[in-house]
Structure 1
Amino acid sequence: MINYLQTKTKELIDSPKLYAVLFISSFLESIIVPIPLETMLIPLMQARRKKMWLLAFWATVGCILGAIVGYSLGYFLFEKFTEQIASWFSDPQQLEQVTSQMQDKGFLYVLSIGLLPIPFQIAMLAAGAAKYSFGMFILATFIARSVRYFGLALLVLIVGNQAEALFKKYKLHTSIAITLLVVVIWLVL
């Protein structure tokens, strides 16, 4: 699947539909597709360096709109379809734990899930189900996804064509470091 995405990404580089496809991909990645957008975004940014900040912007906007849909599903449909919704993304017990933690530390919870390689759908549904503040949810989503996507643009700016290889090589190390940082922040707060 990832090889297919990389091939399609190369075809998109010169397409006039580039931003629309990126926006839709980001939207879908945030609500239903568990394939990281980075596999598409880094090669696009490397090929279109003059437009990499715009690419990061459209990826962020698509994700935020997808997050609004996920939040709305949790807010309006959670009680009616709890078991079905939970089974789409994770086991029901995990979603219930997330929902209870959302009430205590919602902002940090959304922010950390948005930064970590954990399916963001869990945070969206839990925030909606817990009736967590919509404004704070959007702010946390905006910060987390901006850090993620604009961080990739910064990586491309600094290391150029080595960005994709560097990202793949250190993805696990970076995820572990971010996870430890998030855990420390959670424990302190």
Structure 2
Amino acid sequence: MKLFGAIYDKTMAWSQHKFAAAWLSFVSFIEAIFFPIPPDVMLIPMSMSKPHMATRYAIYTTIASVLGGIIGYFIGLYAFDWVKGIIVDWGMQANFDKAMNWFETWGVAIVFLAGFSPIPYKVFTICAGVMQMAFLPFVATAAISRFARFILVAKLSAWGGEKYADKIRRSIELIGWGTVVIAVIAYAIYTFVK
């Protein structure tokens, strides 16, 4: 069944839209608060289709993500009772408890790790507020780690450019279905071990 090729083509078309940078910023902002899809999904094709704009896209993504992280921080600081119900309803209590334990152990270093890695950033922005982490170190660490991640993603995507876009397009079904299989296996293992 061919599914991922059409999605890939649509994503590449959106990456060249005149409002693509605004959408990238919006997705980056809301991802740091609640949205489940990381901005890389837009940053990669945008940087591939316009390599000369990759650094600018990484900067837009970073600024929007840090601003969203600040909102997440204040949600954790002032509205955690409201958020706690959502965490329980969405079945994320165990993940949230684990993140809180990491905060107690690692402090500001965990913000750097969460900002640079594919770990859901929104969990850590809210946890930082709940833990009443010092605000300026939180913002500085978030800015450094998010920029490091997004500039790396953007520059690697720009370096590959259109030549890799064509190669990825030819293999997209294998990549897409392979990712689904790996995710299902990982989930099954996690559920079994748990």
* Bin of the TM-score, shorter chain as denominator length: 0.7 to 0.9
Identical columns (%): 24
Q: Is the 8 A contact 1:27 1:63 kept in 2?
A: yes
* Cross-structure match for 1:21: 23
Q: Is the 8 A contact 1:74 1:124 kept in 2?
A: yes
* Cross-structure match for 2:13: 10
Question: For residues 39-91 of structure 1, what are the alpha-carbon distances to aligned partners after superposition, in whole Å with 9 as ceiling and x for unaligned?
Answer: 2111111111221111111011111111011111000111x335314236653
Quick one: structure 1 residues 9 and 70, their matched pair in 2 at CA, closer, same or farther if it must change by over 3 Å? farther
2:145 counterpart of 1:137: no
Aligned residue-pair number: 166
TM-score (normalised: structure 1): 0.75
Question: For residues 103-125 of structure 1, what are the alpha-carbon distances to aligned partners after superposition, in whole Å with 9 as ceiling and x for unaligned?
Answer: 44221111112222221111011
- Higher relative contact order, structure no. (Cα contacts within 8 Å, ≥ 6 residues apart): 2
* Cross-structure match for 1:128: 129
Q: Is the 8 A contact 1:6 1:40 kept in 2?
A: no
- Unpaired runs of at least 5, structure 2: 180-194
TM-score (normalised: structure 2): 0.73
* Cross-structure match for 1:64: 66
Quick one: structure 1 residues 156 and 93, their matched pair in 2 at CA, closer, same or farther if it must change by over 3 Å? closer
2:48 counterpart of 1:46: yes
2:38 counterpart of 1:30: no
Quick one: structure 1 residues 113 and 11, their matched pair in 2 at CA, closer, same or farther if it must change by over 3 Å? closer
- Unpaired runs of at least 5, structure 1: 173-189
- CA shift for structure 1 position 141: 1.2
